[in-house]
Amino acid sequence: MDDKTVAAYLDRIGTGRPEVIDAAALRVLHRAHQLTVPFENLSIHLSEPISLDEDNLLGKIVTRRRGGFCYELNGAFALLLRALGADVVMVAARVYGSDSFGPPFDHLALLVHPADGTGPWLADVGFGSHTVYPLLLGSRQEQDDPAGPFRLADAEDGDVDVLKGSEPQYRIETRARSLADFVPTCWYQQTSPGSHFTRGTICSRLTDEGRISVSGRTLIRTTGGARSEEPLPDDAALLAAYREHFGVVLDRVPVVSARNAA
């Protein structure tokens, strides 16, 4: 990533270029990314192919000022952190469902070694409602975060479980991966009726007070643990909500296929 693209990316998330990518700078970037770049799956329902090619990732998130899901958001964030001087390892994770962990490559997360020698830190700007700040991978103590208490626990085969309170979130396989390793599962997530991403639309981002989301045709605000819902009565209201709350400008509404709709 060249300096011009780095500057454009930092402008996209509303931060200046840190003098050094230390743990403090990582925290600032991690929070800023979630405040400005939404977790969204709208491309799937707009019939826009999702590409993990570097130019396409940056074009979508930086130039077109859109969001994405984990492969896109954490993939692009890894590119930014590396350009700023951090050592970043992409890792695969299995998301916890109703009673078990999902398949390999279900999720992409990042292990970040800043230039100050701290870490590695688990960074994740692509899991929807998750931590505001990175978690220290080597700690097994409870780690307080504005989103709640989190804890990492050793699992079988050297894997690491991420828990929010007592609830498992996902299981990390710490082996280094590349974006190319996630291409098949990314394709599955955007095409299969078995993927929850094909069953409905979501657009969500962190706010200073909590979180704001559009799920289907409902605007959801969460502030200090209190949740409110507002129906969006027509296409104009839906497009206006995407534009006003997420900076996502669309010329048509995303449509969920009837065969995938829950």
Q: Return the active site residues.
A: 70, 107, 124
The whole-angstrom separation of Cα 159 and Cα 170 is 10
Contacts of 72 (CB under 8 A, 6+ apart): 50, 52, 57, 60, 61, 126
Please list, residue by residue across 198-234, b when 16 or more beta carbons sit within 10 angstroms of its beta carbon and e when fewer do.
bbbbbbbbbeeebbbbbeebebbbbeeeeeeeeebee
Paired strand residues for 253: none
Contacts of 181 (CB under 8 A, 6+ apart): 90, 92, 105
The whole-angstrom separation of Cα 170 and Cα 151 is 11
Q: Which two tokens stand for residue 108?
A: 């992409």
What sign does the CA torsion over 18, 243, 206, 42 have? negative
Other C-beta atoms closer than 10 Å to the C-beta of 170 total 22
Where do the H-state alpha helices sit in 164-215? 183-191
